[in-house]
Structure 1
Amino acid sequence: MRAVRFIRTLLVLTVIAYGGVLLYGYMRAHPQDLPWIPLDLTQPVGAFTGRKLAGIDAKGCRALLDQAGVRFAAQPPRGSGQCVFRGGVALRSGRALEIDYAPRGLATSCPVAAALALWEWHVVQPAALKHFGKKVARIDHLGSYNCRRIYGQSEGAWSEHATANAVDVAGFRLEGGQRISVLNDWDGTPAERAFLRDVRSGACDLFATVLSPDYNAAHRDHLHLDQAARGEMGWRGCR
């Protein structure tokens, strides 16, 4: 009996040791999936990337953009009270980024800008190549900073737009000129439908909140992307 127990114990310890080796190897190969590894925009999107994006401060965020080769213009503070917008940036195409934004001069909080960069690299461009064989040259937007409450109500919670911690994306312009619009093409051709749903779903790994026409009529013409503070805790909204 002792010999049997010894063999069983030895087998259990062997399995545990083997599992530990596999886990260590995975951790070495996938640092982006570990919650304690600092965010690096040059690495693939991992299990905790969204949480890390929502939790970075403006100074650290700008350093990460610099490190990743992203061109941006720092924005001066604006607003007051519940609508103070500080530490914002405006992304500029060139070097690491290929996509322009229209209208020009889109300024957002830095965590939103960092997520937009990752969205371009890992979601938008791969989806465009998959469904159309072309890259996206421009993203059309409906703005970011807007001192208002949710849905423009006179009372209630303040919108993430009130601090430029959100952006509304209306459509995409491919190389060559083809435009894919959220309003007109959400139920368009199979390729248009698949592309818009891919970029929506992929954004859910990077933003705290992603709202589309599937959510309600107020979002029939855009994708709402924000970095609400709850995202740092892993509480995400995606529809």
Structure 2
Amino acid sequence: MARKKTTRRINRRIGAFSGDRRMIGLLALIALGVGLWSWISVHPEHNPWAPLDLRDPIGIATAGKLAALKGDVEECRLALSRSEVSFRALPSTGSGVCERQDRTQLDAYPLSPNTPSVTCPVAVGLEVWRAKNVEPAAREILGSDLDQIEHLGAYSCRRLYGGDDGPWSEHASSNAIDISAFVLKDGRRISVLGGWDGDNDEQRFLREVRDGACTAFATVLSPDYNAAHADHFHLDQQGRWRGVCR
């Protein structure tokens, strides 16, 4: 009998201890959740529910937010406005496959020889790329601020590879832009054609901005892709989850 009573007391203590452990575990989970939410609230770049602000650092939620802008011109332009990026919404133009319903033109972007209208997702990608990658890389690798980004154009109503029966190029809707060179405040000009195999700093800079573009654009094609891109980077926003970065 005494042995049974002892056993029951031990079992009750074990049960109480297990209950305490469950309570401690629950409290720990609650504390972890509160701490995680507090951290996310001050790091919106990691919060998938926070509105996209292009001034935020690149975070784990950034790619998803950028992908969500595709096909939603209104939300895309709201993101530009929220980020205090000046732009103009131009009327649609063209017809058929080459109709451009989304014509968004950045007002203060350092493109040369002009600033063409592009789709809003491309405009967002350009702004993210400039601020988060190109300008820091110019200062850190080349020791000078960025002055201009030279391009070869955005809109061209054509099919891929110049054929008559291939798929339509992203340029047909201005959903792409070709970047050819970078001009620095100190006067240096780093071209894709001349710098890809140029001196060490030029090579490092061009590969850094090529790789950085892959965080802002769905497709990035460089001289590593094929000979047709020996003199420029092709940047577009077609299919963010199926793009190419090369």
> Under TM normalisation by the shorter chain, which class is it?
0.7 to 0.9
| Amino acid paired to 1:35 | P
1:71 is matched with: 86
**1-side partners of 2:19 and 2:74: how far apart?**
57
Q: Does 1:82 align with 2:114?
A: no
Q: How many residues align?
A: 231
Q: Does 1:112 align with 2:122?
A: yes
Q: Which of 212, 228, 231 pairs up with 1:218?
A: 228
Secondary structure of 2:38's partner? Answer: helix
Secondary structure of 2:86's partner? Answer: strand
Secondary structure of 1:171's partner? Answer: strand
Mapping 1:181-192, distance limit 5 Å = 181-192=191-202
1:17 is matched with: 30
1:52 is matched with: 65
**1-side partners of 2:52 and 2:210: how far apart?**
22
Secondary structure of 1:137's partner? Answer: strand
Q: What's the CA shift for 1:73?
A: 3.3
Q: What's the CA shift for 1:173?
A: 0.3
| Amino acid paired to 1:40 | D
1:159 is matched with: 169
**2-side partners of 1:113 and 1:169: how far apart?**
14
**1-side partners of 2:16 and 2:86: how far apart?**
67
Q: Which has the higher contact order (CA 8 A, sep 6+)?
A: 1
Counterpart contact for 1:102–1:141, Cα < 8 Å: yes
Counterpart contact for 1:58–1:88, Cα < 8 Å: no
Gaps of 5+ in 2: 1-13
1:172 is matched with: 182
Secondary structure of 2:107's partner? Answer: strand
TM, length-normalised to structure 2: 0.84
Identity, in percent, stands at 45
Q: Which of 28, 44, 49 pairs up with 2:41?
A: 28
1:194 is matched with: 204
Gaps of 5+ in 1: 94-98
TM, length-normalised to structure 1: 0.86
| Amino acid paired to 1:71 | S
Counterpart contact for 1:213–1:223, Cα < 8 Å: yes
| Amino acid paired to 2:107 | R
1:96 is matched with: none
Counterpart contact for 1:125–1:136, Cα < 8 Å: yes
CA-based RMSD of the aligned residues comes to: 2.1
Task: Say which is worse superposed, 103-112 or 7-16, in terms of deviation.
Answer: 7-16
**2-side partners of 1:146 and 1:153: how far apart?**
13
**1-side partners of 2:63 and 2:96: how far apart?**
28
**Could you say which structure has the larger radius of gyration?**
2
Counterpart contact for 2:41–2:47, Cα < 8 Å: no
**2-side partners of 1:68 and 1:14: how far apart?**
39
**2-side partners of 1:92 and 1:146: how far apart?**
21
1:237 is matched with: 244
